[in-house]
Structure 1
Amino acid sequence: GVEAGGLGIETGKHASAMALGQVGVLHGMKTYLLQDEIGNIQLAHSISAGLDYPGVGPEHAYLRDSGRAKYVSVTDKECMDALMELCRMEGIIPAIESAHALAHVFKMAQGEYKGKTIIMCLSGRGDKDVNTVQKYLNGEETNK
């Protein structure tokens, strides 16, 4: 799976609960959460409104803990670079959420999967995100 790395894990402005979260309870579910040392939920950041959340579903927590899935994070910049590349190459405007996965697929295609077929599901529609893309390209704040 791919998490929203926001402005970078090291900045603290991200939504990478699988990478840096601790087990806690939010909205009645036990999962990995971005929280401080006494359990206060921390703010999350992602260019994608759909990924700007301080936790993950308990199914993802289970898959990670059981070793059945691995999770990586992708920064806002990597995500938007992938989104723009797909627009240029295929004329497809992906949802920003899906562009996070696309960015990781691009990395995979340059690494151990070079020359191999990789299948990815593009869910959602990017037309809902055109204002965010425009703000990003203009250098404006995108998640106010």
Structure 2
Amino acid sequence: MALQKISVLGIVNIVLLVILLAIIGNQLYLWLKGRKVAKIVENDEFKKGMHRAQLIDLREKDNFNAGHIMGARNIPFGQFRVMKDSIRKDMPVYLYDQGKSLSTRVAIKLHKDGYQDIYILKSGFERWDGRVKKSK
């Protein structure tokens, strides 16, 4: 009986380890791929280029309305597929979300569709130190 408990615990541990490795592998893939298809920039560089680009906030509408970077357009990640065609290919695309994980995923999708000039705010809106606008 004790051998069966050890065996079951061993299997559970192996399954958990495989899941953990899959999650880590996925995050590593996104990080590497994101760096390949987009330039990840700090606040200062983001501020310099965003005025000549399409500035897109990927957070949900409620978060956008609570505060967003001045001049940003809201395309929530959940609606990205539907609204993607409104993004021009002939202009730089500046992306941000709360951190940078959604921006990386969107950058990969945009790159697959032929977009070339893509920038991601490294620290996300969470650490943005520039001008912010709140919607009513």
**TM-score over 0.5 for the alignment?**
no
Normalising by the smaller structure, the TM-score range is under 0.3
Question: With CA pairs under 8 Å and 6+ residues apart, which has the higher RCO, 1 or 2?
Answer: 2
TM-score for both structures, normalised by structure 1: 0.24
Of Structure 1 and Structure 2, the greater helix share is in 2
TM-score for both structures, normalised by structure 2: 0.25
